[in-house]
Amino acid sequence: MTAPQISPPAACATAPSAVAVEASCRLPVLFFAFSSATWLLFGAVLALLSSIQVYQPAFMEGCPWVTYGRLRPAAVNSLVYGFALQASFGLALWLIARLGRVELTSPLGLFIAGKFWNLAVTVGVIGILAGDATGFDLLEFPLYAALPLFASYACIGAWALITLKARTERTLYVSLWFVLASLLWFPWILSSAQGLLLGWRVPGVVQAIVAGWFGNNLLQVVLIGMALAVMFYFVPKVVGRPLHSQSLAQNGFWLLLLIGGWTGLSQLSAVPAWIPAVSGAANVLLVVPVIVLIYNLYRTADGEIAEAWKRSGVFRFVTVAAFLLLLVTLRNAVFGIGSGARYTQFTYFAGARTDIMVLGVFGLSALGALHYIVPRLTVAQDELPSDGLVDLAFWASIVGLISLAIGYSLAGLTQGAVGATADRNFLGEAVTGVAGHLKLVTFGYGAIGVGALAFLVNFALALRRCCVACCGGVR
Amino acid sequence: MNHGPLIAAGAFVSLAFSWAALVMAPQVQLGSLAPASIPNTSDVHPANRPGLAAQGAEVYRSLGCYQCHTRQVRQDALLYGVRLVDRGSNASTINLELPDSGRTNLVNFNLLIALAKSRADLGITPVAVPAVLAADTNVAPVLKEFATELKLLKQFDDKAQVVRSTSKTVNELAAALPVEVLERTGPDEAERAVKLLNDAGGKAELVIYNLGPDIERGWGARRSVARDFVNDSPVLLGSLRAGPDLACLGSRAPEKFAAAWKFASTNLASEMEQRLLIHLYNPRLVAPASTCPSAKYLFATKQPDQRFAGESLQVPGSDKPVYPRHDARALVAYLLDQRLDVGLPEAPVTKPSGPAKIAAAPAKP
Amino acid sequence: MSKKKQKPSPAAVASSPQAKTASAAESEPSVSVASTSSAWPFVALGVLLFGCFLYVENTGGAFRADVFQGDYKTPPRAAAKSPEEQLLDRGRQVYAACAACHQPSGLGAPGQFPPLAGSEWVLHENPNRVIRLVLDGVGGPMTVKGAAYSNVMVPWRDVLSDADVAAVASFIRNNADWGNKASFVTPTQVKAIRDETKDRSGRPWTADELLKVP
């Protein structure tokens, strides 16, 4: 993509006007944005409740529907399928429409498919609470929810790809590479994993390996890819400079795809030694593409960072998300291989990777992007109605994430220390002894919930103002 | 990079690599894994779960127990040793061999004593040491000690006199066969010592040391391996230890439970079942520090109107008995079915030596 | 968020939300033309890749399915089975056919099928008789362990190979559970006798004939 990338609208006869593009996005993108934020709030509340149960076992005791073993997967799956993936659909559609200068194909169809997606997630979460979870991490939805989920995704993905094909701006900007890879990656891994686990039923620990492979790909490529698409879109845009390097972006992109699918199995124990070894090595190798990509963004914004931080809300979100991505990748490289992996194996430390990736790297990117997109699609303005709520959403999310990461990490390291010596009292030190750290986690989920709520209220205010504008103040 | 199909194809190839390596290859390697037959018996491991335990697996999955409990025992090292089970009476020549120079240590010294003891005809006279070995500076000090030891043997044999070797008295060595004469060494060295002792007319066997904190805690006699799970579907390995590992709950030694479990070690199986049922009803009754949520909903307060409702359960601190529902009994059956005490080719274990530690004689009233 | 943002008057918004979309005029991000490709990602990747190969080499257990920790060494296998043990294993399988009459216990059935455990016919110092007996069967009166039998044993000449006959003969002569211990039988011995007696094929021996065999 080179200098005169924006041809004057007149020169491109078929290119729709920016207004028409936005109009086509309005219904589906706002729908995905609103429902994903709702799921974020809902998931954070479930996660908050389940995190209390870990040190207060009497909390909500006595009802199988809300026992920890069901509440926790319900929370994680709400966050992943309700919030993260749904937000990524909204972002993908918006990025395709904007960068491809094309109207969305079938906005109404996308909206209906989105409704079905939400229905499937709801059924799935209820299924988990009812005790029908499959038992595989990040694939807990029972088959009767997983199939409609896949079907509605098939529609969303297909329309997104059709839109991309119909784009009038033929140059594919970096963000669209990531969007395209994410959109394709998700159905591939989902069908492969569901087919092998719920259909063919591979035997023995192969099940755990396949589930681990799926979960890792979902986090490391689908969600991180979408987060990178957002970062690569907003950093140059806010700073007002072209992206530093095309070749670095290409290298980073392909290396991420090549290596990203191999990480994430380093914490399995009852599998042949080569599997955690290879996966641990991939954890280290992944540092290269992540540094390449983030360095590219850094060079793009270099010198303007402080100024952009003050000026733009989305830049703040995206910067913190990029920093978190670097951090979580380095953390994985150190604690995902060899004795580091062994030390943190089976602890909260290793488990926190999912939370940091979904709520941190992806969550912050998505929330930032939605703070940019939503006001444009509702009130046709740069910013959401309430500045205070925007600040609240940002700071609550950041504080929440930091508490979450620190709480889980400290708890995990304590567990690791106890687990490494048989002399230490497991129950006293590794279970009840980490209650203090886990209270920090509870606070973290609470803060993230507050952030989501702040965004939702702001969203509602914008919608209300939009209604007032459209309908002449009926309400 | 402006062609969508090109990027799509590249992405597909990238994913195909990781799929081939981490999905297909494990399936090819482990897909045909079958239960292993246990030598000298007609049993296999893992055995098919009995019906009640199979139903319990569903309860375990449905309640999400795997969210807090792993079923994967880890292991740090696998070492070998030699156990002398019979000193034998064979008078055939013994070739007193010392380990390669430089590797001599007190552990091997133990072996030498055992060698001497394993030869009845050797008696207690010092062994003639080959000149070439006596000249070896690495070996000489040990040989000297060995000679002293043998003299002491001559002096004090069968009188309860303590002669220090590594940690055992010579009398123990002599009297308490089987005795481990070589501890924590590599497979080759151990194999050689077994051959040596057997050639000397004694009878020796390999001992396997499975080492690691999990195993020391009593969470399993050995590590968990893929074969342990061939009968499971779904395979609930667990990834977080918010509670103890459950891989061998059914074969765990009673003293390896928290003290509060308070086993009377009589009729272990039924007592384990009782403890687990009470634990499900209210974990704090069995382990006060436990953070496991109670599963009271698996119990009825009134006699259920079922033909096979089972017995009532007397809960400590309560006058009224409760009645475990079918799911509670199934879950307990599943937990007691978790065994990790059987050796496999890829994860060997040694049968415990000497008399069984727990005399599981049922208490007769 | 910037505090200097101006709140648009409701009227301005109300006029037409689509008339002047704030983002409509914004330019989309582009890529700098000045950028050149750089080699450092690949240098870094190469260095790490080398380290990773070493790591997987050391801890990956040579990609074997039965190695679950990197420093695992193949345990000393029970010594490979001796030819005698292999013969006994084979014989145990072949014996399944014999067990129908002679019973798994080797005790036979009193008055009908003679015992093999402790039988002087089986344990004879020389296996020549038992090989003949298995090949062509035996019929008529016969005394085993002091008891008389007169049943007919079917010939196995066409059913069992030399190796099978040797295996089953070795098995019954060396079954420790029965207390039997005698010399092993080799397939060569069986082949010699099979060739020597091939014209008999199918005609069972009598006890007297067999007793003449050394």
Query: Which among B4, B23, B64 has the least Cβ separation from residue A210?
Result: B23
CB distance C122 to C182 below 8 Å:
yes
What tokens appear for B31 in the block?
């897909």
CATH 1.20.210.10 fits A16-468, yes or no: yes
**Which pLDDT belongs to residue B197?**
67
Q: Rounded to whole angstroms, how far apart are CA atoms B118 and B126?
A: 14
Q: Within A135-273, where are the H helices?
A: 143-165, 174-194, 206-217, 224-239, 246-260
- What is the per-residue pLDDT across C85-124, written as a single tens digit (0 to 9) for each? 778 878 877 887 788 788 877 888 887 888 888 888 888 8
Looking at the complex, does the CB of residue B238 fall below 8 Å from at least one CB of chain A? yes
Q: Suggest the residue from C31, C37, C56, C66 to mutate for an interface test with chain A (most A CBs closer than 10 A).
A: C31
Percent of chain B's residues with pLDDT above 90 = 30
Taking phi first (over 0 means left), then psi (-120 to 50 degrees means alpha), and beta for anything else, what does residue B102 get?
Answer: left
Q: Rounded to whole angstroms, how far apart are CA atoms C90 and C168?
A: 7
- For residue B151, pLDDT over 60 is answered with no
**Which pLDDT belongs to residue C14?**
37
3-state secondary structure of B22: helix
**Which pLDDT belongs to residue C10?**
40
Distance from CA of C52 to the nearest CA of A (A): 5
Inspect the interface and report whether the beta carbons of C75 and B29 lie closer than 8 Å.
Answer: no
Distance of CA A117 to the CA centre of its chain: 16
- For residue B353, pLDDT over 50 is answered with no
- B145 pLDDT band, cuts 50/70/90, is low
**Which pLDDT belongs to residue B256?**
76
**CA B292 → CA A7, A200, A365, B280, B287, distances in Å?**
64, 34, 36, 9, 10
**CA C7 → CA A315, B88, C23, distances in Å?**
21, 100, 16
Inspect the interface and report whether the beta carbons of C55 and A272 lie closer than 8 Å.
Answer: no
Tell me the sheet residues that pair with B198: none
Q: Rounded to whole angstroms, how far apart are CA atoms A359 and A41?
A: 11
**Which pLDDT belongs to residue A475?**
41
Tell me the sheet residues that pair with C205: C138
Q: Rounded to whole angstroms, how far apart are CA atoms A377 and A24?
A: 10
Looking at the complex, does the CB of residue C62 fall below 8 Å from at least one CB of chain B? no
**Which pLDDT belongs to residue B90?**
36
Mean pLDDT value across residues B17-34:
95
On chain C, the residues whose CB falls within 8 A of the CB of B350 are: none
Contacts of A among chains (3+ CB pairs under 8 A) = B, C
Distance from CA of C75 to the nearest CA of A (A): 16
- For residue B5, pLDDT over 80 is answered with yes
> What count of CB pairs under 8 Å joins A to C?
178
Length, in residues, of chain B: 365
Inspect the interface and report whether the beta carbons of B258 and A272 lie closer than 8 Å.
Answer: no
Inspect the interface and report whether the beta carbons of B29 and C67 lie closer than 8 Å.
Answer: no
Q: Suggest the residue from C56, C71, C73 to mutate for an interface test with chain B (most B CBs closer than 10 A).
A: C73
Residue of higher predicted confidence among C199 and A94: A94
User: For residue A333, what is the enclosing H or E element?
Assistant: helix A313-335
- What is the per-residue pLDDT across B89-118, written as a single tens digit (0 to 9) for each? 432 223 333 333 333 333 344 455 555 554
CB distance A320 to A405 below 8 Å:
no
Tell me the sheet residues that pair with C179: none
| Lowest mean per-residue pLDDT among A432-436, B224-228, C67-71 | C67-71
**Which pLDDT belongs to residue A42?**
97
Inspect the interface and report whether the beta carbons of A246 and C32 lie closer than 8 Å.
Answer: yes
- Which CATH number is correct for B38-76+218-336, 3.40.50.300, 3.30.2290.10, 1.10.287.70, 1.10.760.10? 1.10.760.10
**DSSP string across B210-245:** EESHHHHTTS-SS---GGGGTT-SS----S--SS--
CA torsion through residues A367, A326, A275, B335, sign? negative
**Which pLDDT belongs to residue A10?**
42
**Which pLDDT belongs to residue C187?**
86
User: For residue B37, what is the enclosing H or E element?
Assistant: strand B36-37
> What count of CB pairs under 8 Å joins B to C?
39
Burial of A10 (0-12, 13-18, 19+ CB in 10 A): exposed
Distance from CA of C177 to the nearest CA of B (A): 14
Looking at the complex, does the CB of residue C9 fall below 8 Å from at least one CB of chain A? no
Q: Rounded to whole angstroms, how far apart are CA atoms B257 and A427?
A: 11
**Which pLDDT belongs to residue B135?**
55
**Which pLDDT belongs to residue A416?**
95
- Dihedral angle computed from the Cα positions of residues A68, A70, A72 and A73, in that order, rounded to the nearest 10 degrees: 160
Number of Cβ within a 10 Å radius of residue A58: 12
Inspect the interface and report whether the beta carbons of A469 and C17 lie closer than 8 Å.
Answer: yes
Inspect the interface and report whether the beta carbons of C28 and A5 lie closer than 8 Å.
Answer: yes
- Please name the residue of chain C whose CA is at the shortest distance from the CA of residue A169: C28
SS (H, E, C) C35-47: CCCCCHHHHHHHH
Burial of C213 (0-12, 13-18, 19+ CB in 10 A): middle
- For residue B228, pLDDT over 50 is answered with yes
Burial of A125 (0-12, 13-18, 19+ CB in 10 A): buried
**Which pLDDT belongs to residue A149?**
96
Inspect the interface and report whether the beta carbons of C13 and A465 lie closer than 8 Å.
Answer: yes
| Lowest mean per-residue pLDDT among B307-316, B343-352, C56-65 | B307-316
Question: Nearest CA to A72 among C122, B239, B276, B54?
Answer: B239
**Which pLDDT belongs to residue B82?**
76
Q: Which of residues 196-215 of A touch B (CB under 8 A)?
A: 196-197, 201-210, 213
**Which pLDDT belongs to residue A9?**
43
| Lowest mean per-residue pLDDT among A361-375, B59-73, C34-48 | C34-48
Inspect the interface and report whether the beta carbons of B346 and C69 lie closer than 8 Å.
Answer: no
CB distance A134 to A48 below 8 Å:
no
- B181 pLDDT band, cuts 50/70/90, is low
- What is the per-residue pLDDT across C132-178, written as a single tens digit (0 to 9) for each? 888 888 887 888 888 888 888 888 888 888 888 998 888 888 887 78
Distance from CA of C22 to the nearest CA of A (A): 5
Spatial neighbors of A383 by CB under 8 A, at least 6 apart, are: A313, A371, A375, A390, C1, C2, C5
Cis peptide before C187 (omega within 30 of 0): no
- For residue B87, pLDDT over 60 is answered with no
**CA A217 → CA A192, A204, A210, A263, distances in Å?**
12, 21, 11, 8
CA torsion through residues B272, B278, B282, B286, sign? negative
What tokens appear for A274 in the block?
């080569």
Tell me the sheet residues that pair with A218: none
What tokens appear for A263 in the block?
């990480």
Phi, psi of A99 (to 5 degrees): -75, -30
Supply the angle between the helices A107-129 and A143-165 in degrees, to the nearest 10.
160
**DSSP string across B251-310:** G--GGGS-GGG----SSHHHHHHHHHHHHHH-HHHH-TT--PPP-GGGEESS--S-TT--
3-state secondary structure of B96: coil
**Which pLDDT belongs to residue C213?**
81
Inspect the interface and report whether the beta carbons of B31 and A207 lie closer than 8 Å.
Answer: no
**Which pLDDT belongs to residue C13?**
38
What tokens appear for A311 in the block?
């000026």
**DSSP string across chain C:** --TTPPPPPHHHHHH-TTTT-TTTTPPPP-B-SS----SHHHHHHHHHHHHHHHHHHHHSGGG-TT--STT--PPPPPPPPPHHHHHHHHHHHHHHHHHHHH-TTS--BTTTB---TT-TTTS-SSTHHHHHHHHH-EES-EEETTEEE---BPP-TTTS-HHHHHHHHHHHHS-GGGT-------HHHHHHHHHHTGGGTT--EEHHHHHH--
Inspect the interface and report whether the beta carbons of C76 and B80 lie closer than 8 Å.
Answer: yes
Inspect the interface and report whether the beta carbons of A173 and C30 lie closer than 8 Å.
Answer: yes
Question: Nearest CA to C18 among A247, B117, A376, B46?
Answer: A376
**Which pLDDT belongs to residue B104?**
31
Q: Rounded to whole angstroms, how far apart are CA atoms A183 and A150?
A: 13
**Which pLDDT belongs to residue B17?**
96
Looking at the complex, does the CB of residue A275 fall below 8 Å from at least one CB of chain B? yes
Architecture of domain C84-212: Orthogonal Bundle (1.10)
Beta-strand pair C147-149/B44-45: unpaired
Phi, psi of B284 (to 5 degrees): -70, -20
Flag whether the ipTM exceeds 0.90: yes
**Which pLDDT belongs to residue A2?**
41
Inspect the interface and report whether the beta carbons of A261 and B7 lie closer than 8 Å.
Answer: no
In this prediction, the residues of chain A whose per-residue pLDDT falls under 70 are 1-13, 471-475
Distance from CA of C64 to the nearest CA of A (A): 7
Spatial neighbors of C185 by CB under 8 A, at least 6 apart, are: C127, C130, C131, C165, C166, C169, C170, C173
Query: Which among B12, B27, B292 has the least Cβ separation from residue A206?
Result: B27
- For residue C17, pLDDT over 50 is answered with no
**Which pLDDT belongs to residue C2?**
40
**Which pLDDT belongs to residue B175?**
52
- B342 pLDDT band, cuts 50/70/90, is confident
Q: Suggest the residue from C6, C9, C28, C52 to mutate for an interface test with chain A (most A CBs closer than 10 A).
A: C28
CB distance B344 to B45 below 8 Å:
yes
Inspect the interface and report whether the beta carbons of A17 and C33 lie closer than 8 Å.
Answer: no
Beta-strand pair C147-149/C138-139: unpaired
Inspect the interface and report whether the beta carbons of A338 and C59 lie closer than 8 Å.
Answer: yes
Looking at the complex, does the CB of residue C176 fall below 8 Å from at least one CB of chain A? no
Angle of CA points B78, C73, C47, to nearest 5°? 105
Q: Rounded mean pLDDT of chain B?
A: 72
Distance from CA of C6 to the nearest CA of A (A): 10
On chain C, the residues whose CB falls within 8 A of the CB of A2 are: 30-31, 33
Number of Cβ within a 10 Å radius of residue B321: 14
**Which pLDDT belongs to residue C16?**
38
Question: Nearest CA to A64 among C124, B65, C163?
Answer: B65
Inspect the interface and report whether the beta carbons of A285 and C52 lie closer than 8 Å.
Answer: yes
Residue at token pair 């993108």: A29
Q: Rounded to whole angstroms, how far apart are CA atoms B60 and B328?
A: 10
Looking at the complex, does the CB of residue B345 fall below 8 Å from at least one CB of chain A? no
CA torsion through residues B34, B40, B42, B45, sign? negative
Inspect the interface and report whether the beta carbons of B1 and A164 lie closer than 8 Å.
Answer: no
